[in-house]
Structure 1
Amino acid sequence: MEQQVFETKVNRFNKEMPEYCPVTYSMQIIGSKWKIPILWKLMLEDGQHYNHLKRKVGNITNTMLTKSLRELEADKLLERHDDQTVPPSVTYHLTDLGKELVYTMEGLFDWGQKIHNTK
């Protein structure tokens, strides 16, 4: 990135900074170890069942998956759909707000790919 472009962006952040830091606020919502992998897997394949999502995320405990899913639901990034069947069938879906993160994820994807390719 050119220095001038960098400075323009940083100046915008300084000029438009509200009383709270939007980056810190965003990280409070999605910044735990497991939330971005959960959101990423739901972006790739929406409407996943709990166990399928657990396998896709990998190495996450039931406690952490449940906690993360509840927090993401409380923050309105995903919805839990219970089909009211026996045995229970629950699927998780991104909300429109959760889908908006695709732009952020694309930036992280591109940045990660660039860094990986330079090593």
Structure 2
Amino acid sequence: MKTIGSKWKIPVMWYLMLNDGQHYNELKRSIGSITNTMLTKSLRELEEDGLLKRISKGTVPPSVTYHLTDTGKDLIYTMGDLFEWERNIWKKNNGINVKRDSTTLLCNEVSFFNLLFF
């Protein structure tokens, strides 16, 4: 749970899965309300855990991109199966057809993980 238990790690990984090779500011804009401190902390911890890699081009000014590792991709796809299971249970219990647009999907999935981990 320590690996993905932080509030921001799953959204960071999710946005890297949607658009691999993002710069820090691209990630910050994509996620929205995350602070610089929490984004930096989440990126460092995910890198330490082997779920993403930081690639520096060695240029001036510095150009750094973040990429999911194979382990990180495996984890995201596994979470996708969990999201689908949760969605099926929700539809079954509520009898509602869930719209699958990406914004709703991400909000529902992040909310679901907040319920699981917080």
Could you tell me the TM-score, scaled by structure 2's length? 0.71
Higher RCO (CA-CA < 8 Å; seq separation 6+): 2
Aligned partner of 2:70 among 90, 96, 104: 96
Cα separation, 2, equivalents of 1:49 and 1:108: 28
- Partner AA of 2:54 in structure 1: R
Aligned to 1:106: 80
Q: Which residue of 2 aligns with 1:41?
A: 15
* Letter of the structure 2 residue corresponding to residue 71 of structure 1: E
Please say which structure displays the higher CA radius of gyration: 1
**Gaps (5+ residues) in structure 1?**
1-26
| Equivalent of 2:28 in 54, 66, 84 | 54
The alpha-carbon deviation at position 105 of structure 1 amounts to 2.0
Percentage identity across paired residues of the two chains? 68
Measured against aligned partners, the alpha-carbon deviations of 1:53-101 in whole angstroms (never above 9, x if no partner) come to 0111110000000000000000010000001111111000011111111
Number of equivalences: 93
Q: Which runs of structure 2 are paired with 1:1-119 in the superposition (5 Å)?
A: 27-114=1-88, 117=91, 118=94
Query: RMSD of the alignment, in Å?
Result: 1.7
> Secondary structure of the residue that 2:3 maps to in structure 1?
helix
Find the residue that maps to 1:48 and give its secondary structure.
coil
- Taking structure 1 as the reference length, the TM-score comes to 0.71
- Residue 30 of structure 1 aligns to a residue whose secondary structure is coil
> Quick one: structure 1 residues 87 and 115, their matched pair in 2 at CA, closer, same or farther if it must change by over 3 Å?
farther
Deviation at 1:103, TM superposition (A): 2.7
CA distance in 2, matches of 1:116, 1:63: 35
